[in-house]
A and B are shown apart, each in its own frame.
Chain A
């Protein structure tokens, strides 16, 4: 049952990520889903059971992405290392902050 909930939630999360990236291409869209998803998982943290499997592991897990972030960071649009460093630092700082805020509110 948990497996099914994770799969369904992830299908929804991945689709939401695609829809955001169609509106906001490249790093801006990836940063948006990563910050929103980290906040939402912070809200849900400490939870367990079926709602956590569906919304936490499934939706939030698949809405956010680490691999796209990393590939974007090493392929800077302007070819500059400074952009890569700024993107990586901004992503980590905002996602940790969002997760902390979410878990404080949750």
Chain B
């Protein structure tokens, strides 16, 4: 079974060329830095746990919309998808913050993040397809 990459060049789809690393790395680094600053700003405003939830839910909706819209420019996919939204959302802070919560809060936080994130990713994909 092929396991296509949603954002990077897709070996199964020749219409999506793979961008060379000399171009891809700086684009992804710049995008990742911008996304991470957004995440840092929101965590400073709302606190790490709530900020991370907001960032992750918003990022899921936006990445769904980007993937759904299937932009033809591979640099747009890499810069906005792999870079900005990849750097904006985070699994590591989600994991560490979950461990610091009480068991009941942790269950609620995981359900809100994962359940909400998957629903919003799906909503974003539909929005993107319709554009």
Which B residues fall within an 8 A CB radius of A? 1-8, 11, 21, 24-25, 28-37, 39-40, 43, 56, 59-60, 62-64, 67, 78, 81-83, 85-96, 98-99, 110, 113-114, 117-118, 120-122, 124-125
Chain A residues with CB under 8 Å of B94's CB are 66, 95
- Cβ-defined partner of A8 (8 Å) among B33, B63, B91, B110: B33
Interface of B is mostly: helix
Chain B residues with CB under 8 Å of A84's CB are 118
Q: Mark A1-28, 1 if CB is under 8 A from B, else 0.
A: 0110011111111110111011001111
Asked whether, in the complex, the Cβ of A68 is within 8 Å of the Cβ of B36, the reply is: no
The winner among A8, A45, A69, A100 for most chain B CB atoms within 10 A is A69
Asked whether, in the complex, the Cβ of A74 is within 8 Å of the Cβ of B87, the reply is: no
Chain A residues with CB under 8 Å of B37's CB are 3, 6-7, 10
